[in-house]
């Protein structure tokens, strides 16, 4: 599949990246790759990305600097600088674990599953390079228990490496309960320490593990793959690309694009509904991301810095265009309900606050929200932000806040007790729905 | 986006060591007992569901610090703590 | 006590009205009873030797009603479903709870003072504070005496919470309902000599018991978290991999220092 002809800078023949010019088609309801990107077995991987990171002389010494030089950030959504995180773990002590987080926090995103199903060795190389860089002793691949295709690809890859005698440290695959918050870094660390798979409060973000426990470095799958690319090709040859998931109604596409490409170009090229007209808005980053009107977002590049100066984040790489016949308020309410249901039930403002907000959103879509109800909604949203142990409630409130602004017209229609005339519903895929 | 009250803190804002003391909470332990707001009314209000909203500013010495210490000591869930930066 | 009505409307208006009406009714009842009893006592003092007895019993009944309100509100304050009742606000509920405790204390003090100093009551200071020390219905008075100590323990530790009592107040507070049970028996055995009074004790007793049952049987957020926590991560075996034998769900490595929670 070719990339947008109207964007010569994409130049697929010159961009090697991770997926290159290939586009993955992933089903809407689970993370099984349908078609598009061939899986790299170990032999193909070694010919594309070079030798095992454990055998590259001087890699450990230069990798941390290289990660800083390319300004690699965490691709799970937080975009925390990887080099800073790795250094603080390395400084805290040796003998810990490094975790590849493949239990995608964002149900809409399919990039991590795509990577683990097509570039498992790249991810594992990144894991091994990280283990060496922070002087950890073991690797963990953290997956959702229902993600069978992904689990199969990872276990096959580990077996390939064992059979080929690659000098890997111990790597184990751990399956997490299929919940939204299983992908939260603190859920992972808490589990490795023998606790439940639920997020926890961390007083010092630089040390998310408990006192007296081994260090744990958790990185998103794409971050780990990118670290492997930096390790293999060096900072000077690293191409700053992003993996994006574009949501259409029938399927999702995972694409790799350079940072110069605009979101408008990505949508025009990869969104199935584009022939029927541009979307009214785009949900950017994830279900805890932001809605942005099409006119505001179409010309923005995918670049993290450019988006940040517009007050936005590419988050986990989700691009969710909303067809113009759909109602943004109904879509946002649906997502708020889902996020409220996915609360780990630990923090009062999240358990009770998100539930109360979801209820008011239901009233809003049903045209039953009174002016005082709207005031209450605003008050609750202000009360919830920043008050959970993890950032789950913040994300839900951020998404809803942006929806109430971007879809202000829809809000006023609904407020008058009428239906908004939307003809399509349920644009963003939710786990367990439609199966 | 400008709705945040001054008393609602932004999560994980990078704390820099500056010798100040901050009142903090592990919200996953808090059960909304509410005695903290009674003991430290200058620093803690309760939200619509009875859970404490903390003043995130540095706690000044004197009356406010005494209130904060009492709230921390009284919390039956040990959810509140003072962080010295 | 001010009712914060700003920002409420619709459904919550009904709740505000119900809550307001309940509080106003409670305060009114106690005020009417008090003023009537005091009025009766004052007029009686002029010539009636029964006056201290009447005043003492009036203060006792008022104390009981205040204690019922106090415990009732305490149960509401800790009820697992409390987050769904948003009016009056939690802060107001706590303030009312604290205020009620002060009123209760004052009327109990009046009750004891009057009956301890009334020779005809045959209770005396000794009988007021020492179990089985009263000449008048010693068992009934003793229940009240122990109830007094239980209530004082609950109230004083809470008043000193965060200072002398640190967080010890909380476990003691949870058994404060024992005080009400003892005081209820004290009232039924020593202060319910008319059908109306007995009816008051029965109705209020049932109401508090019903709320207590509801509070202790309701599903808590901790129950919900425990259910989620039971759903554990599991190790996925990779045949031929060098993965070590580590079991998720137990800490098999690192230091043996106690985990935070």
ipTM of the complex as predicted = 0.83
pLDDT tens track for B1-33: 333 333 333 333 455 667 889 999 999 999 999
Spatial distance between the Cα atoms of B25 and A190, rounded to a whole number of angstroms: 19
Tokens representing residue A208 in the block: 């998310």
pLDDT for C20 equals 65
Spatial distance between the Cα atoms of A255 and C85, rounded to a whole number of angstroms: 48
Select the residue of C77, C162, C171 nearest B71 (Cβ to Cβ).
Answer: C162
Q: For residues C157 and C173, is the Cβ–Cβ distance under 8 A?
A: yes
Q: For residues A239 and A287, is the Cβ–Cβ distance under 8 A?
A: no
Q: For residues C176 and C151, is the Cβ–Cβ distance under 8 A?
A: yes
Q: For residues A252 and A106, is the Cβ–Cβ distance under 8 A?
A: no
Q: Which of A235, A313, A200 is nearest to A67 (CA)?
A: A235
- CATH 1.20.120 is held by the domain C15-223: yes
Contact A173 C83 (CB under 8 A): no
Phi-psi region of A177 (alpha: psi -120 to 50; beta: other; left: phi over 0): beta
Interface of A with C in 375-404 (CB under 8 A): 375-376, 379
Strands (E), A234-378: 241-247, 251-258, 281-285, 290-293, 318-322
Q: For residues A329 and A364, is the Cβ–Cβ distance under 8 A?
A: yes
As a residue count, chain C comes to 261
Q: Which of B8, B48, B50 is nearest to B32 (CA)?
A: B50
Measured between beta carbons, the chain A residues lying within 8 angstroms of C238 are 155, 158-159, 171-173
Could you please state the CATH topology (level 3) that the domain comprising A328-415 is classified under.
de novo design (two linked rop proteins) (1.20.1440)
Q: For residues B33 and B12, is the Cβ–Cβ distance under 8 A?
A: no
Contact A380 B30 (CB under 8 A): no
Give the mean model confidence (pLDDT) for residues A274-287: 93
Give the mean model confidence (pLDDT) for residues A299-326: 92
Q: Which of A303, A279, A285, A291 is nearest to A245 (CA)?
A: A285
Q: Which of A190-199, A315-324, C8-17, C174-183 has the lowest mean pLDDT?
A: C8-17
Contact B51 A348 (CB under 8 A): yes
Tokens representing residue C249 in the block: 């769900």
Q: Which of A126-140, B55-69, C225-239 has the lowest mean pLDDT?
A: C225-239
pLDDT for A395 equals 93
> Quick check: A11 pLDDT over 60?
no
DSSP 8-state code for residue A26: E
More confident residue, A335 or C135: A335
Give the residue from chain B lying closest to A199, CA to CA: B28
Contact B27 A349 (CB under 8 A): yes
Give the residue from chain B lying closest to A347, CA to CA: B28
Contact C233 A195 (CB under 8 A): no
**C-alpha separations of A26 from A32, A177, A383, C148 in Å:** 6, 22, 38, 70
Tokens representing residue A350 in the block: 């999240």
Tokens representing residue A358 in the block: 């979801």
Query: How far is A386 from chain B, CA to nearest CA, in Å?
Result: 5
User: Can you tell me whether residue C240 is helix, strand or coil?
Assistant: coil
Contact C243 A162 (CB under 8 A): no
Measured between beta carbons, the chain A residues lying within 8 angstroms of C241 are 155, 158-159, 162, 170-172
User: Can you tell me whether residue A173 is helix, strand or coil?
Assistant: strand
pLDDT for A87 equals 92
The residue among B2, B25, B27 with the most chain A CBs within 10 A of its CB, best to mutate, is: B27
> Quick check: B69 pLDDT over 70?
yes
pLDDT tens, chain C, 261 aa long: 333 333 333 444 555 566 667 766 776 677 667 766 666 666 666 556 677 777 888 888 899 999 999 999 999 998 988 888 878 889 999 999 999 998 998 888 888 887 877 777 777 787 778 788 777 787 888 888 989 999 999 998 988 888 877 888 999 898 888 999 999 999 888 877 788 888 889 999 999 999 999 999 988 888 888 888 888 888 888 766 655 444 454 443 433 333 333
Contact B38 C77 (CB under 8 A): no
Measured between beta carbons, the chain C residues lying within 8 angstroms of A185 are none
pTM of this structure: 0.84
Architecture of domain A36-237 in CATH?
A: 3-Layer(aba) Sandwich (3.40)
Domain residue extents for chain B: 21-84
pLDDT tens track for A339-385: 999 999 999 999 999 999 999 999 998 888 888 999 999 999 999 99
pLDDT for A2 equals 39
Spatial distance between the Cα atoms of A391 and A213, rounded to a whole number of angstroms: 24
Q: Which of A398, A399, A404, A397 is nearest to A356 (CA)?
A: A397
Give the mean model confidence (pLDDT) for residues B66-71: 92
**C-alpha separations of A311 from A72, A266, A297 in Å:** 20, 20, 11
Q: Which of C66, C68, C44, C69 is nearest to C54 (CA)?
A: C44
Query: How far is A215 from chain C, CA to nearest CA, in Å?
Result: 9
Interface of A with C in 313-352 (CB under 8 A): 344-346, 348, 351-352
Q: Is B51 on the interface with A (CB under 8 A)?
A: yes
Start and end residues for every CATH 1.20.1440.230 domain found in chain A: 328-415
Q: How far is CA A124 from the centre of its chain?
A: 18
**Count of alpha carbons within 13 Å of C126, Cβ hemisphere only?**
8
Angle CA(C55)–CA(C60)–CA(C66) in degrees, nearest 5?
Answer: 125
Tokens representing residue A242 in the block: 């992003």
Q: Which of C14, C27, C15 is nearest to C88 (CA)?
A: C15
Could you please state the CATH topology (level 3) that the domain comprising B21-84 is classified under.
Alpha-Beta Plaits (3.30.70)
Q: What DSSP element (H or E) covers B24?
A: strand B21-25
Query: How far is A200 from chain B, CA to nearest CA, in Å?
Result: 7
Beta-sheet pairing, A97-101 with A216-220 = parallel
Q: How large is the angle between the packed helices A82-92 and A59-69, nearest 10 degrees?
A: 140
Q: What is the number of other CB atoms lying within 10 angstroms of the CB of residue A299? A: 10
Torsion of CA A130, A240, A308, A107, to 10 degrees: -60
Select the residue of C8, C238, C255 nearest A173 (Cβ to Cβ).
Answer: C238
What are the b/e assignments for C198-216, b being 16+ CB within 10 Å?
Answer: eebbeebbeebeebbeebe
Q: How far is CA A31 from the centre of its chain?
A: 13
Spatial distance between the Cα atoms of C193 and C200, rounded to a whole number of angstroms: 12
Measured between beta carbons, the chain B residues lying within 8 angstroms of C91 are 34, 37, 45-46
Query: How far is C7 from chain A, CA to nearest CA, in Å?
Result: 6
Residue with tokens 């932000």: A385
Contact B49 C90 (CB under 8 A): yes
Tokens representing residue A367 in the block: 């045209």
Tokens representing residue C216 in the block: 């202790």
Q: Which of A73-77, A136-140, C61-65 has the lowest mean pLDDT?
A: A73-77
Architecture of domain A241-322 in CATH?
A: Roll (3.10)
Measured between beta carbons, the chain C residues lying within 8 angstroms of A191 are 232-233, 248-249
**C-alpha separations of C24 from A100, A239, B59, C3 in Å:** 60, 71, 39, 11
Q: Is A394 on the interface with B (CB under 8 A)?
A: yes
Tokens representing residue A321 in the block: 């265009």
- Rounded to a whole number of angstroms, the CA Rg of chain B reads 12
Q: Is A415 on the interface with C (CB under 8 A)?
A: no
Is cis: bond before C97, omega within 30 of 0? Answer: no
The fraction of chain A above a pLDDT of 90, given in percent, is: 62
**C-alpha separations of B8 from A292, A387, B83, C68, C128 in Å:** 25, 8, 17, 37, 51
Interface of A with C in 166-195 (CB under 8 A): 168-177, 179, 182, 191-195
Q: Which of A264, A262, A263, A246 is nearest to A254 (CA)?
A: A246
Q: How far is CA A101 from the centre of its chain?
A: 10
Tokens representing residue A47 in the block: 């010919």
DSSP 8-state code for residue A360: H
Beta-sheet pairing, A318-322 with A241-247 = parallel
Domain residue extents for chain C: 15-223
């Amino acid at each position: 599949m070719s990339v947008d002809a109207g964007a010569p800078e994409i130049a697929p023949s010159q961009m090697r990246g991770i997926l290159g010019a290939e586009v993955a088609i992933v089903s809407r309801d689970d993370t099984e790759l349908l078609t598009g990107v061939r899986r790299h077995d170990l032999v193909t991987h070694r010919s594309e990305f070079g030798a095992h990171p454990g055998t590259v002389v001087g890699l450990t010494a230069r990798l941390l600097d290289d990660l800083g030089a390319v300004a690699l950030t965490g691709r799970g959504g937080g975009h925390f600088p990887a080099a800073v995180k790795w250094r603080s773990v390395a400084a805290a002590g040796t003998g810990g674990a490094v975790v590849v987080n493949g239990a995608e926090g964002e149900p809409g995103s399919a990039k991590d599953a795509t990577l683990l199903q097509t570039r498992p060795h790249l991810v594992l190389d990144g894991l091994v390079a990280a283990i060496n860089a922070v002087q950890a002793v073991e690797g963990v691949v953290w997956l959702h228990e229902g993600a069978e295709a992904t689990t199969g690809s990872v276990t096959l890859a580990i077996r390939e490496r064992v059979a080929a005698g690659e000098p890997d440290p111990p790597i184990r695959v751990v399956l997490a309960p299929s919940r939204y918050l299983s992908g939260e870094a603190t859920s992972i660390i808490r589990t490795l320490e023998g606790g439940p798979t639920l997020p926890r409060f961390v007083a010092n973000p630089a040390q998310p593990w408990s006192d007296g426990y081994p260090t744990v470095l958790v990185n998103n799958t794409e971050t780990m793959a990118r670290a492997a690319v930096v390790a293999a090709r060096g900072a000077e040859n690293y191409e700053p690309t992003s993996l994006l998931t574009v949501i259409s109604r029938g399927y999702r596409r995972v694409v790799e694009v350079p940072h110069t490409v605009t979101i408008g170009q990505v949508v025009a090229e990869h969104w199935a509904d584009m022939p029927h007209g541009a979307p009214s808005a785009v949900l950017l980053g994830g279900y805890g991301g932001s809605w942005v009107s099409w006119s505001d977002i179409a010309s923005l590049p995918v670049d993290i810095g450019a988006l940040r100066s517009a007050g936005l984040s590419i988050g986990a790489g989700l691009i969710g265009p909303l067809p113009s016949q759909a109602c943004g308020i109904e879509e946002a309410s649906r997502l708020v309900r889902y996020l409220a249901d996915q609360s780990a039930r630990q923090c009062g403002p999240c358990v009770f606050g998100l539930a109360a907000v979801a209820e008011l959103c239901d009233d809003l879509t049903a045209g039953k929200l009174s002016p005082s109800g709207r005031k209450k909604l605003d008050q609750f949203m202000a009360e919830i932000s920043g008050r959970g142990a993890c950032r789950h409630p913040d994300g839900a409130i951020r998404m809803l806040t942006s929806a109430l602004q971007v879809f202000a017209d829809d809000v006023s229609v609904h407020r008058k007790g009428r239906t908004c005339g939307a003809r399509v519903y349920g644009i963003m895929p939710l786990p367990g729905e439609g199966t | 986006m400008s709705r945040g009250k001054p008393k609602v803190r932004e999560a994980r804002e990078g704390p820099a060591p500056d010798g100040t003391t901050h009142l903090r909470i592990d919200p996953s332990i808090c059960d909304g007992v509410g005695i903290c707001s009674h003991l430290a009314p200058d620093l803690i209000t309760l939200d619509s569901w009875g859970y404490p909203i903390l003043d995130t500013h540095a706690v000044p010495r004197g009356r406010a610090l005494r209130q904060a210490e009492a709230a921390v000591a009284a919390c039956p869930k040990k959810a509140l703590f003072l962080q010295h930066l | 006590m001010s009712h914060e009505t700003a920002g409420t409307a619709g459904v919550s208006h009904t709740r505000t009205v119900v809550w307001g009406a309940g509080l106003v009714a409670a305060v009114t009842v106690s005020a009417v009873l008090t003023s009537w009893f005091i009025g009766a006592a004052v007029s009686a003092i002029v010539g009636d030797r029964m006056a201290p007895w009447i005043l003492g019993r009036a203060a006792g009944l008022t104390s009981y009603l205040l204690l019922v309100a106090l415990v009732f509100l305490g149960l509401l304050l800790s009820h697992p479903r409390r987050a769904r009742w948003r009016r009056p606000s939690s802060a107001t509920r706590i303030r009312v709870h604290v205020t009620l405790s002060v009123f209760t204390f004052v009327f109990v003090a009046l009750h004891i003072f009057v009956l301890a100093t009334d020779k005809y009551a045959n209770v005396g200071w000794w009988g007021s504070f020492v179990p089985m020390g009263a000449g008048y219905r010693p068992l009934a008075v003793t229940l009240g005496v122990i109830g007094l100590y239980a209530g004082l323990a609950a109230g004083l530790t809470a008043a000193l919470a965060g200072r002398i009592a640190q967080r010890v107040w909380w476990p003691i507070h949870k058994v404060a309902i024992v005080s009400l049970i003892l005081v209820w028996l004290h009232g039924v055995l020593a202060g319910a000599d008319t059908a109306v009074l007995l009816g008051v004790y029965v109705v209020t007793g049932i109401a508090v018991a019903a709320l207590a049952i509801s509070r202790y049987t309701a599903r808590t957020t901790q129950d919900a978290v425990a259910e989620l926590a039971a759903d554990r991560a599991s190790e996925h075996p990779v045949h031929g991999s060098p993965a070590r034998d580590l079991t998720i769900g137990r800490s098999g490595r690192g230091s043996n220092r106690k985990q935070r929670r």
